[in-house]
Amino acid sequence: MAVSLPEGVGSAAAQCYDGLRQQQHRGQDGSGMVIRNDQRALVRKRLGLVAEVYPREWLRHRAGCAIGHNRYATQGAPSALNLQPHRAVTKDGRRIYCASNGDVTNFRALRTQLRRRGVRFTSQNDAELLAWLVADLSDEAGSFPDALRRLRSVVTGAYAAVFLVGERIFVARDPFGFRPLVCAPLPNGGIAVASETIAFDILGADPLTYQEVRAGGILELFRGRMTVHERGGDALAPCKFEHVYFSRPDSTVFGVPCSLVRRRIGWRLGKESGFRRRTNTVVLSVPDSANWIAQGVAEWLGVPFIIGGLIRSHTARRTFIEKEQRIRDEGVRYKLNPDRTWIAGATVLLVDDSIVRGTTIGKIVSMLLRAGAKEVHLLIGSPPIRHPCFMGVATPTREELVANQVTQRALRRVLRVASLTHISLEGLKASAGPLTREERERFALLLRSFLRAPRGSLRGSILTRLEKTDTSRFCYACFTGEYPIPIPPTGRSQ
Ligand code: SF4
């Protein structure tokens, strides 16, 4: 998250805080922010949730610019030392602070090179590596935009990064555009950059002005003004898992609202399940990420969706992004509770976004059977995950992924479900592309106005974007094993 404001306008610290708080789901280990206040950079980093990390006094600083980050551990342990932003220093003494989303896959090779040149790292984190690389490259290149241009040929992997140098913020996104990065003008004359558009909603920005930072793009923000050093191009491999699970449903990611993509996944999944409507059947979702997929399944099959069939505690954290199995298991117990009113004696179509290790969904199915469900059919909004991610999502090793341990038939038995349906890869791909005739008919029934949206309106721009989206360009590597970049031979970020 980055905020740059015109001189004397508001507090970038408070606005960065609002944006970070909205994006809490992207990282729950800890949070960090650097602000520029009276010619000084002030840094605050702590383990914990955003609301716990920043005291009131911090938000009152009259800072003109700020960068911040919520950490979810992929590269390096979930420790205070690995919290971002990280700092590096150029030869002429300028300090560079960096916050980044994504994993650098040639991390170890680059780190070894820099260590040989005398850099002393304080963390195991990619953002520190990026900060030192940019410091090093700017010593050679003479300017930060040129250093960021060179960075693209030095680094492989994913980065959606912001760099604070003095009062200026530089923004850079890798040429594959794995992780989302968006920018928007603010009502107070400032400009903000974030992973997800929901960060701008809370700042009162106009959704029609939200724009993607294009893949390979390089921007500079200074006192609320933006300079484009590199326009960049279409992303070569945006992460499909952002649409399926990672991003919040009310965010527009890679130009398309996640809630719409998930609803379409649900329609496809309902169709592909071949399930025939019966009486005494309900659709339940594993909340919250599968809610929209379940809504789509229910609409397609004409079965009631019981939105509170599984109630999620709102003080619970996201279990997928927890590093330890023990915490994930405990998390499920505290996080979810079935409402027997709707479950006892019913056939349950349980909808989830993905199956990774299989343990969480197994516990949920047991919960439903204990609550009296006659039988449980499991519908999953992504194909089986068989390959680890190296570009910023902490999936486990190949061996730990349940899809590589047992056949789908055996998994069905282990999970004690009457049937198990994963959406096909083709079905998943189509969810961000042009609407099919069947989907148009569905919209005509549900929300005719969606299809009649004039060009230039928000909905009109969504429809145009769907028409233009080349769905073959997304990264689907965790389902297919076809990685768009070279992958380290022995695990994470070599
Ligand atoms: S491998 Fe999967 S999680 Fe990783 S970037 Fe590709 S689609 Fe996203």
**Whether 429 contacts 286, CB under 8 Å:** no
Given the CA of residue 388, which atom of ligand 1 is nearest to it? Answer: 1
Q: What is the pLDDT of residues 326-379, one digit of tens each?
A: 555 666 777 899 999 999 999 999 999 999 999 899 999 999 999 999 999 999
Q: What are phi and psi of 396, to 5 degrees?
A: -75, -175
Q: In the prediction, which pLDDT does 494 show?
A: 42
Instruction: Please give, one letter per residue, the 3-state secondary structure of the chain.
Output: CEEECCCCCCCHHHHHHHHHHHCHHHCCCEEEEEEEECCEEEEEEEECCHHHHCCHHHHHCCCCEEEEEEECCCCCCCCHHHCCCEEEECCCCCEEEEEEECCECCHHHHHHHHHHCCCCCCCCCHHHHHHHHHHHHHHHHCCHHHHHHHHHHHCCECCEEEEEECCEEEEEECCCCCCCCEEEECCCCCEEEECCCHHHHCCCCCHHHCEECCECCEEEEECCEEEEEECCECCCCCEHHHHHHHCCCCCEECCEEHHHHHHHHHHHHHHHHCCCCCCCEEEEECCCCCHHHHHHHHHHHCCCECCCCEEECCCCCCCCCCCCHHHHHHHHHHHEEECHHHHCCCEEEEEECCCCCCHHHHHHHHHHHHCCCCEEEEEECCCCCCCCCCCCCCCCCHHHCHHHCCCHHHHHHHHCCCEEEECCHHHHHHCCCCCCHHHHHHHHHHCHHHHCCCCCCHHHHHHHHHHHCCHHHCECHHHHCCCCCCCCCCCCCC
Lowest mean pLDDT among 232-236, 311-315, 391-395: 311-315
C-alpha of residue 475 to centroid of ligand 1, in Å = 6
pLDDT at 78: 83
The answer to whether residues 3 and 16 touch, using CB atoms and an 8 Å cutoff, is yes
Q: Which has more pLDDT, 491 or 290?
A: 290
Please tell me the predicted confidence (pLDDT) of residue 326. 59
Residue 453 banded pLDDT, cuts 50, 70, 90: confident
pLDDT class of 443 with cuts at 50, 70, 90: confident
* Whole-number Å distance between alpha carbons of 167 and 1: 15
pLDDT: is 444 or 300 the higher one? 300
Among all chains, which residue has been given the structure tokens 């791909």? Answer: 429
CB 266 within 8 A of CB 284: no
Residues framing ligand 1 (Cβ under 6 A): 178, 239-241, 389, 391, 393, 475-478
Would you say the pTM of this structure is higher than 0.75? yes
In this prediction, residue 235 carries a pLDDT of: 92
Q: Has residue 185 got a pLDDT over 50?
A: yes
Cis amide bond preceding 206, omega within 30: no
Q: Is the separation of the CB atoms in 281 and 375 below 8 Å?
A: no
Pair of tokens at residue 146: 């040129």
Indicate which residue's Cα is closest to atom 8 of ligand 1. Answer: 239
Q: Count CB atoms within 10 A of the CB of residue 94.
A: 14
State residue 487's pLDDT score: 85
* Confidence band for 323, pLDDT divided at 50, 70 and 90: low
pLDDT band at 493 (very low <50, low <70, confident <90, very high): very low
pLDDT tens per residue, range 405-433: 999 999 999 999 999 999 999 999 999 99
What is the pLDDT, as a whole number, of residue 130? 98
- Say whether pLDDT at 315 is over 90: no
Mean pLDDT, residues 38-60: 94
Q: What amino acid is encoded at 155 in this protein?
A: V
Strand 281-285: give its sheet, edge to edge. 281-285, 347-352, 375-380, 419-422
CA–CA dist 183, 159 (Å, integer): 16
pLDDT at 492 over 60: no
Please name the residue whose Cα sits nearest to atom 5 of ligand 1: 239
**Of residues 130, 23, 25, 27, the one with CA closest to residue 71:** 27
Protein residue with its CA nearest to atom 4 in ligand 1: 389
pLDDT at 319: 61
Is 172 a residue whose pLDDT tops 60? Answer: yes
Q: Are 87 and 135 in contact (CB under 8 A)?
A: no
Q: What is the pLDDT of residue 334?
A: 75
pLDDT (0 to 100) of residue 116: 96
Query: 22-31, 207-216, 274-283, 478-487: lowest mean pLDDT where?
Result: 274-283
pLDDT at 451: 82
Per-residue confidence at 80, pLDDT binned at 50, 70, 90?
very high
Share of the chain above pLDDT 90, in %: 81
Q: Return the number of other C-beta atoms located less than 10 Å from residue 476's C-beta.
A: 21
User: Which pLDDT does position 331 carry in this prediction?
Assistant: 64
What number is the average pLDDT over the span 101-108?
A: 94
Q: Which of the four pLDDT bands, split at 50, 70 and 90, describes residue 25? A: very high
Give the ligand 1 atom nearest the CA of 390.
4
CA–CA separation, 157 vs 155, rounded Å? 7
Task: Give 235 Cα–ligand 1 centroid separation in angstroms.
Answer: 14
| Spacing, Cα 279 to ligand 1 middle (Å) | 38
Average model confidence (pLDDT) across the chain: 92
Tell me which of 478, 479, 480 to substitute to probe ligand 1's pocket, judged by most ligand atoms within 8 Å of the beta carbon.
478
- Choose which residue among 179, 391, 474, 480 to substitute to test ligand 1 binding: the one with the highest number of ligand atoms within 8 A of its C-beta: 391
| Mean pLDDT of the 224-230 span | 97
C-alpha 288 to ligand 1 mean position (Å): 20
Ligand 1, pocket-test mutation among 173, 236, 240, most atoms within 8 A of CB:
240
Express as a percent the part of the chain with pLDDT over 70: 95
